[in-house]
Structure 1
């Protein structure tokens, strides 16, 4: 028995101290399993051994220590990276977590379809409402449903809309009403304004659509929208093939730093404390491993708390900048993390409340996955014709199926999160956008009726 504990104590130290020494594409938090004979003599499985070495409550010990999670190199991924980098997954018994950097959102979708057993992933970071599109088969190959369990919101804010430098001085900012004619002129001359996002019918598509429509510009008729991976944005703006881009930090700010363009708006200006990206896993994985799911949640929650402390933001920028993660200069990351944005058009923002948040914001919990936010994403999908109006009749049942806020609550309680930090309601209530439009989750139809530009007849 002493051999078991000596092996695992050394293993835990190495996992915690050396978790960052991994591949830039596939990051493994695993140093191998204890010898079968040692486990047999101890009478415990590998996950139980790992949990005991990490001082995990035996009743909470995960069913497996292994999971493979996908991420993309934008600030939304920070809690996953910190949980891995600082050994927090191992702390809660998940010593064999692998982080797999995804080339783009399409690759992330394809990899969760095949699952880790097929060389893909068990889940990871997602734009919304991708977990719903996977669950219903709307965005999968052959429309095969891949039921997903949405378990945690990774962050709020941290996105922006960047504009090519050739449009500097033309009045393109948060408010677009005075520049509506510019878009019409470009279209009339055959050089239609071209804007991009990283995946269709998801967060960054919604942000730029909302911004355009609020200014009286129809995103489907007055501009050309297309999908471009975040890493290609700087090059595309330099060549003049793209007029605008909606994506997460650090890419919008890098466009400014590289003097390629400017920022017209932060998403924090469009919708303060808006929901951004989420952690979701395949439902079949969660059903087999409910305790492991909560172990992952506890590690990511602790990472979110760490990320949100101002005194840690400089270290966070250094970690994310590393070659194995983002491979970017620290200064491109640090200023936005501190709420400092040189917008590139003479406007300077220095406001921590405009920065990305991971654990709490001025409206309470960031990490908790409010069902009311899921409903907004589904309603906005109806607005643009991505989903039929009838989906709203089925929305509650669908959200109850996909959104596993119950697991979040259980994990938070096991982690010792203060009761005051655990939301009492699955709705955050009425949401207000920069143009004065409100979304009341109790009446999504009223929201649709209040919108001038939309594809749904209501």
Structure 2
């Protein structure tokens, strides 16, 4: 059995120092996530309370030097007492309510038990939903088709999604058409291509003809990234291999039974395959596209229209959790928070390896990749355009596509920036961030040219 490396212990976790500036670099590369002080707390409620206190300190003293001077002069305890006397945390919650009376306080939110859902899950035990006046019931759901159906049937108010799913649902692809929205990206990176241990001598994808692969859903980054990777290595994903839709919790069992040769799937199941000694990690998905989106937090058009204040409160809760999750030093706490049965139901050792990036790869190596999984919440519309190009490339969309119109309707970037500002974070600029996939730059202004540029596709 593979175990967490010995050097990934809680002793390596940097404790809170109240006299240090409460600035932190978030996943988008800017110093604006005020949660540096979260420590491995014995109480998750205490961790949530400390996080809110630090956010309040930064809001009151936005200039670094002034904040440092204040904390150094009076000390952490005096500062805490002074701030509480002026604006206690209860008042902070009241301020959130003042942003608009909540139309609905009791919410049902669906999720799949994978690390991609960390922000959505951790916001409940850490108290971020409660601080916005919400009572959220997290509903563990078996698979992505069921997630889709429960949203269409209005059994869930909001949900964890694969980021291409709201695009597909809004267009009526694979299901009844229902206008959906991506409010935030839940995670970036955090996936891998995992192969059965019997294939350790087949690291060249050109040797994979006839392989059977699993992905969690057709409208998933997993499917699009696997197809991209195979095609770039000369394999036609529709004729040279088989790609099967398999719920993430069933991937390791299917690998063990020999029903599949590998999968491009979400963690923790890549690491669980290593832990159970049935698979090895061929490559991380970040090696295909570093910073790629995977899962999303989404709601329907109707929910936003009927419950605008509730939506905003829910959104702020998830954004706050996302920024906390983006900090490497908070990952050990998060692994413990999401490990229990009602959430991921996984060994902490497996989750620690995924979230800290110090992991055994199943090939005898210990890797250190801090951004193996990350949690940048920005729903860049260029990401949506890329997903649409891959739907077009592989025949999921027929005819002409108005890429820009669909991306801007479904990916709520403007709303994301507004809510980020309300919780004290500096929003990024722009909407169509550029990026590279396997070394090839994607220009979101020329999606049709991009689709036509590939040697292997259903377009040619």
Task: Please say if 1:433 is aligned against 2:444.
Answer: no
Task: Please say if 1:407 is aligned against 2:407.
Answer: no
Give, in whole Å, the separation in 1 of the partners of 2:181 and 2:219. Answer: 19
Q: CA deviation at 1:57?
A: 4.9
Tell me the TM-score normalized by structure 2: 0.78
Q: Could you give the per-residue CA deviations for residues 57-91 of structure 1, whole angstroms, max 9, x where no partner exists? A: 51344322122211111111100111111111111
1:26-425 residue pairs with structure 2 within 5 A? 54-94=94-134, 96-115=135-154, 120-140=155-175, 144-172=176-204, 176=205, 180=206, 182-184=207-209, 192-353=210-371, 355-358=372-375, 366-391=376-401, 394-418=402-426, 422-425=427-430
Give, in whole Å, the separation in 2 of the partners of 1:256 and 1:82. Answer: 25
Unpaired runs of at least 5, structure 1: 1-14, 20-49, 185-191, 359-365
Q: Could you give the per-residue CA deviations for residues 17-57 of structure 1, whole angstroms, max 9, x where no partner exists? A: 8x9xxxxxxxxxxxxxxxxxxxxxxxxxxxxxx99964425
Q: Could you give the per-residue CA deviations for residues 385-404 of structure 1, whole angstroms, max 9, x where no partner exists? A: 1112411xx22222222222
Cα contact 2:181–2:300 (8 A) shared by 1: yes
Cα contact 2:97–2:133 (8 A) shared by 1: no
Give, in whole Å, the separation in 2 of the partners of 1:51 and 1:198. Answer: 43
Cα contact 2:107–2:157 (8 A) shared by 1: yes
Relative distance call for 1:282 and 1:51 in structure 2 (3 A) is farther
Cα contact 1:162–1:264 (8 A) shared by 2: yes
Secondary structure of 2:238 counterpart: coil
Give, in whole Å, the separation in 1 of the partners of 2:178 and 2:202. Answer: 45
Count of residue pairs brought into register by the alignment: 376
Tell me the TM-score normalized by structure 1: 0.78
Correspondence for 1:450? 453
Which sits farther off after the overlay, 376-385 or 126-135?
126-135
Unpaired runs of at least 5, structure 2: 1-43, 49-89
Q: CA deviation at 1:349?
A: 2.3
Correspondence for 1:33? none
Give, in whole Å, the separation in 2 of the partners of 1:212 and 1:155. Answer: 23
Cα contact 1:153–1:367 (8 A) shared by 2: yes
Q: CA deviation at 1:337?
A: 0.8
Cα contact 2:163–2:182 (8 A) shared by 1: no
Relative distance call for 1:322 and 1:54 in structure 2 (3 A) is farther
Relative distance call for 1:294 and 1:345 in structure 2 (3 A) is same
Relative distance call for 1:194 and 1:291 in structure 2 (3 A) is same
Correspondence for 2:82? none
Secondary structure of 2:452 counterpart: helix
Q: CA deviation at 1:347?
A: 4.4
Q: Could you give the per-residue CA deviations for residues 355-401 of structure 1, whole angstroms, max 9, x where no partner exists? A: 2111xxxxxxx21111110000000111111112411xx22222222
Cα contact 1:437–1:450 (8 A) shared by 2: no
Secondary structure of 1:352 counterpart: coil
Relative distance call for 1:444 and 1:348 in structure 2 (3 A) is farther
Cα contact 2:173–2:396 (8 A) shared by 1: no
Secondary structure of 2:344 counterpart: coil
Cα contact 2:220–2:294 (8 A) shared by 1: no
Cα contact 2:229–2:288 (8 A) shared by 1: yes
- Greater relative contact order (Cα < 8 A, sep 6+): 2
Cα contact 2:162–2:219 (8 A) shared by 1: no
Secondary structure of 1:139 counterpart: coil
Give, in whole Å, the separation in 1 of the partners of 2:331 and 2:406. Answer: 37
